[in-house]
Each structure stands twice: as structure tokens, then as C-alpha cells.
Amino acid sequence: MAKPAVSNQGPNEKTICTNRRAHHQYDILDSLECGVVLRGSEVKSLRAGKVSLEEAFARVKGGELWLIGCDIATYPQANLMNHEPRRERKLLLRHRELRKFAEQAGHKGLTLVPLAMYFTRGIVKVKIAVGRGKQLHDKREKLKKDAARREIQRALAARS
């Protein structure tokens, strides 16, 4: 399960889960907020923080956007009315936004990746991004830059 990230969120927002691997594996080009069609036991499980976006992605099927691979754990008190943990969930967005995202995702090498899941005024939202997969040398280059930046910060802190 992913840990909720601390961010600059408003009083009506609560982050449930973030996909930290997405920024490491993809160059994020554009992002969009979507609603999600959920069942009652799924919402209860989300409120408990039992969700993982690590292996999730989004696909356009039949003119609709679907979240695939998102793992929302079963809610123990739901008994018979429980949900399937890894079922496909429909994402809600406007037709013009869907057309724009579907066009971008249709290009070679681009994919739709969920970045975060959060509550906004009691409604579950998912932040979906269009990303291009990073090559291994890109990842190594970023790690080198981050290490150099940390060394500079340490040197400045030790100096003062």
C-alpha cells in the first residue's frame, strides 16, 4: 500500500494514495482530474487507505476511460456485498477532455498513468497524466543530478 503524500491541499481535500513510481518511470506531459465510479464497500476501503496505484494505468475502451489494475482491498465488514479488488473502474470526464486525452495517448510511446487518488468535498477523484516512458539512461541521469544537488545542499549547510 502506498503512503499518502503530504502536499499543499485545501481544507476540503484529503490525499488517499499517490503513485510515486510514476514520476520516476515517466515524463509527465499533461494531467487531468477525473471522477471514479465506485461501490459503497470501495469507498469505505478508500477511507481506510487500503489502495494501491503502483501497477494501475488507464485505457480508452468504447469511447470511455477505464482505470485498470488499481487494487482497492476488500472491506471486511461488507460480507456478501463486497467488491472485486482489481476490477476495472470507469473514470468520469467531459467528452472534449476524453477526446484530447485519447488523442495524446494514441501517439506512440505515450500512456495514461494515475498519479494520485484523493477526496474532494467527500467525492473520490483520480489525477490522470499522459506520460512518456523514460529510458534507463534518462533515469540514471536524473539520479546523478539529484545526488549532485544533495551534495551541494550538504556543503552549503556545513559551511553556514
- The pLDDT tens digits of the residues spanning 11-36 come to 778 888 888 888 888 888 888 899 99
Phi, psi of 6 (to 5 degrees): -85, 125
Phi, psi of 60 (to 5 degrees): -95, 120
Task: Kindly state the cell numbers that stand for 133.
Answer: 516512458
pTM: 0.74
- Domain positions in the chain are 13-133
CATH class held by domain 13-133: mainly beta
In this predicted model, what pLDDT tens digit does every residue of 35-51 receive, in sequence order?
A: 999 888 888 888 888 88
DSSP string for 44-65:
HHHHTT-EE-TT-EEEEETTEE
